[in-house]
Amino acid sequence: MTEQLIDSFGRVHTNLRISVTDRCNIRCFYCMPADNVQFMDRELLLTFEEIERLVRVAVRLGVNKVRLTGGEPLVRRDLYKLVAKIAAIPEIHDIGITTNGILLAEQAQDLYDAGMRRINVSLDAMSADKFKQITRRDGFEKVIAGIQAAQKVGFHPVKVNAVAVRGLTEDEVIPLGEFARRTGVEIRFIEFMPLDADNAWERDKVLFGHEIIEILSREFGPMNPIGQSDPGAPATDFEFADGGGRIGLIASVSQPFCMSCNRFRVTADGKLRNCLFSLEETDVKSIIRGGGSDDDIAQAIRDSIAAKKEGHEINTARFIQPERPMYSIGG
């Protein structure tokens, strides 16, 4: 019988998110500084073989779902080769990726052929000007082309992650809704979280999930909630009243899903984190490169999960923003 990773609050962890790089080809303000970004030296990154070993140990502990993140994971050369390695592990039932889509058009087929079936593309705006304001780079047309390519090769549904920021993206809610209805993508509106490199996050800057539903309902009619098939999924899903598409809300600030969280993550430099907002890390790369056994790696994972806190405490005076911004942790 497969072991389970259960924390002190009874949460079973089956979902591993792995950052493959901290490098990125855009500079979204909620994730990275605009300039002078200090990226990790390449030798500090886990190799594909080290990542494969880590996943094989994790499946002994009940992990069956992996998502590759960054930075921008598609800037890591030959990423499809890592996907194929992970897909070859029988216990892994689901391999996904979160990407900004800039390089997706040229890599979608290779990723699909390697065994990947789930894809999330980050796109916060449906206008090139607003896209550039948020990302501080050009590339809107490439993202749209990447989404189209992913759909063409067989990814379904393609999910689009849109960070919701008050005073910036309210005007994008309806265009994103229209995009979902027109193309069949599923939009995931994500409340702006305190993981920006400039430490400029304020609660007043969060465009809350219930406000997004109100905006969509005024334009398209009632948004009907859909029952959640995966209790560990972070999104609350809704369907347009006429059945013409779906959207989801990830309300990490206003409605934290901490008590149903089933995920943990590894940074690109091999640090294990039991929560996105964790202030503590476990250095599994040192175990791997120091000659540690698979049992040593497994015990480090168990210990990290056992130490997981009840929640991220964003809504309390006790909250402390992690020193690492999002691009350095992995989305």
Sorted by where each begins, the domain ranges of the chain are: 15-329
pLDDT: which is higher, 196 or 151: 151
pLDDT at 259 over 70: yes
Res. 208: pLDDT tops 90 = yes
**pLDDT at residue 215 tops 90:** yes
Class of domain 15-329 (CATH, top level)? alpha beta
| Ramachandran region, residue 78 (left: φ > 0; alpha: ψ -120 to 50; beta: rest) | left
Residue 227: the pLDDT is 77
Name the one residue in this structure whose structure tokens are 């897909």.
87
Asked if the model's pLDDT at residue 28 lies above 80, the reply is yes
Q: How many residues does the chain have?
A: 331
For range 127-149, the mean pLDDT? 97
Residue 299's Cβ-side half-sphere holds a number of Cα atoms within 13 Å equal to 7
* pLDDT for 228 beyond 90: no
Tens digits of per-residue pLDDT, 297-308?
999 999 999 999
Q: Binning pLDDT at 50, 70 and 90, where does residue 164 land?
A: very high
pLDDT score of 1: 63
Q: Say if residue 262's pLDDT is above 70.
A: yes
In 3D space, the residue among 160, 149, 158 whose CA is nearest the CA of residue 100 turns out to be: 160
The answer on pLDDT for 184 being more than 80 is yes
